[in-house]
């Protein structure tokens, strides 16, 4: 969509003002606050045109204009520039995360918390599924007479444990043997691979020779398949309550009930496709496939280790959110995370 220069200016003025005030913007406001060098009447003409094009709309006849979803989209695609993070905020982030940089999980948690705090939106972060990660270590550890702990370690440093309750005790030899078999069967495989070809081979080969084999393998298989999904972190879910467009409990409920559902949030984040060159991705209103989010927008950025995308951070706010500032903030945070996780 090609727009004359002045129309762009008017559209931008409307969007910026609406983002700042949450009130419909009238022609007089624009002439007063944004110096376009023309009278309100002229602005009105431009606004009528913009409305015809679907970029802005009127809540009712005698109100000012508000941006439409298409208007935001145009703004985001053609007008907006990422607002760089101030030195002050960079410092704030660094000083708040410097203690947590040691542990991957803490760093991630802290980053999400900070994002929600700085932006006053809802922050989220998803770690990519581990399906391409390789299992480097597997071990069974007896910890009580009838209790084992299964420990799994991935090449990205992620560790998982699972308790196995035995119906009867196993000898140390049996446990050792079992561990060896498991190592041979799955170490070096990616998560995806071991899911496809589970432990049938072990089962066939050793059935009857090892006590309780069947029961134990079942638990292990469950662990291998169920665990290692993506991990999602959320923070600031209640920030939405501060937005004037969510003064209504029913609207709040719509959004918060979605946020509670891990599954949906994962889906949401995964659908935010983006190329490597352009890590920032923005979905406005109904572009997010979920009806309940029609009044919300989601801005996300990927972060990576040596070129490979390993996660995505995002901020969810009202469609009226400050896209420019948000994009800048996420941009910085994604760099920070890429950097901080490099040698983890």
Compute the half-sphere exposure of residue 296: CA atoms within 13 Å on the CB side of its CA: 29
Question: 41 or 159: whose CB is closer to a copy of itself?
Answer: 159
Q: What's the rounded Cα separation, in Å, for the pair 187 and 134?
A: 8
Query: What sign results for the dihedral spanned by CA atoms 103, 109, 115, 117?
Result: negative
Q: Binding residue for DNA (CB under 7 A) from 20, 22, 63, 103?
A: 63
Is 55 in contact with 67 (CB distance < 8 Å)? Answer: yes
**DSSP characters over 279-324:** -EEEEEGGGGS-GGGTTEEEEEEEEEETTEEEEEEEEEEETTS-HH
Binding mask 124-143 for a copy of itself (x = CB under 8 A): ------------xx-x-x-x
Cβ of residue 64: shortest distance to DNA, in angstroms?
4
Q: Binding residue for a copy of itself (CB under 8 A) from 74, 121, 130, 246?
A: 246
Q: What's the rounded Cα separation, in Å, for the pair 246 and 240?
A: 7
Q: Is 103 in the site for DNA (CB under 7 A)?
A: no
Touching DNA, residues 156-175 (CB under 7 A): none
Q: Binding residue for a copy of itself (CB under 8 A) from 60, 196, 247, 277?
A: 247
What is the widest separation between alpha-carbon atoms in the chain? 91
Residue 182, both tokens: 């498991």
Q: Is 226 in the site for a copy of itself (CB under 8 A)?
A: no
Q: Is 342 in the site for a copy of itself (CB under 8 A)?
A: no
Q: What's the rounded Cα separation, in Å, for the pair 24 and 37?
A: 21
Binding mask 7-46 for DNA (x = CB under 7 A): -----------------xxxxxx-------xxxxxx-xx-
Which residues are near DNA by CB under 7 A? Answer: 24-29, 37-42, 44-45, 47-48, 51, 58, 60-65
Which residues are near a copy of itself by CB under 8 A? Answer: 102-103, 136-137, 139, 141, 143-144, 147, 149, 151, 153, 157, 159, 161, 163, 165, 237-238, 241, 246-249, 252-253, 256-257, 260, 344
């Amino acid at each position: 969509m090609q727009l004359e220069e002045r129309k762009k200016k008017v559209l931008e003025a409307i969007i910026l003002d609406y983002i700042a005030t949450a009130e419909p913007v009238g022609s007089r406001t624009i002439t007063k606050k944004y110096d376009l060098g023309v009278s309100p009447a002229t602005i009105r003409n431009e606004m009528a045109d913009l409305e015809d094009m679907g970029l802005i709309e009127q809540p009712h006849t005698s109100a000012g204009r508000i941006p439409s979803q298409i208007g935001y989209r145009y703004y985001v695609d053609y007008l907006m520039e990422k607002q760089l993070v101030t030195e002050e905020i960079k410092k704030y982030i660094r000083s708040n995360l410097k203690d947590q940089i040691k542990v991957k999980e803490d760093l991630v948690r802290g980053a999400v918390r900070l994002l929600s705090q700085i932006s006053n939106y809802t922050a989220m972060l998803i770690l990519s599924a581990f399906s391409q990660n390789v299992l480097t270590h597997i071990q069974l550890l007896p910890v009580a007479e009838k209790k084992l702990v299964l420990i799994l370690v991935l090449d990205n440093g992620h560790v998982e444990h699972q308790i196995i309750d035995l119906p009867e005790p196993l000898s140390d030899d049996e446990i050792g043997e079992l561990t060896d078999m498991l190592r041979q069967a799955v170490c070096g495989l990616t998560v995806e691979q071991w899911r496809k070809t589970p432990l049938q081979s072990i089962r066939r080969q050793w059935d009857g020779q090892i006590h309780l084999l069947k029961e134990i393998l079942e638990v292990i298989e469950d662990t291998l398949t169920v665990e290692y999904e993506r991990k999602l972190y959320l923070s600031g879910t209640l920030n939405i309550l501060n937005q004037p467009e969510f003064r209504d409990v029913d609207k709040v409920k719509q959004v918060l009930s979605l946020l509670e559902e891990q599954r949906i949030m994962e889906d949401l984040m995964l659908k935010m496709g983006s190329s490597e060159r352009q890590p920032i991705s923005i979905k406005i209103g109904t572009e997010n496939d979920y009806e309940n989010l029609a009044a919300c927008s989601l801005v996300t950025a990927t972060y990576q280790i040596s070129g490979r995308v390993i996660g995505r951070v995002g901020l969810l706010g009202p469609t009226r959110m400050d896209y420019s500032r948000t994009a800048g903030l996420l941009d910085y945070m994604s760099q920070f995370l890429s950097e901080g996780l490099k040698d983890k």
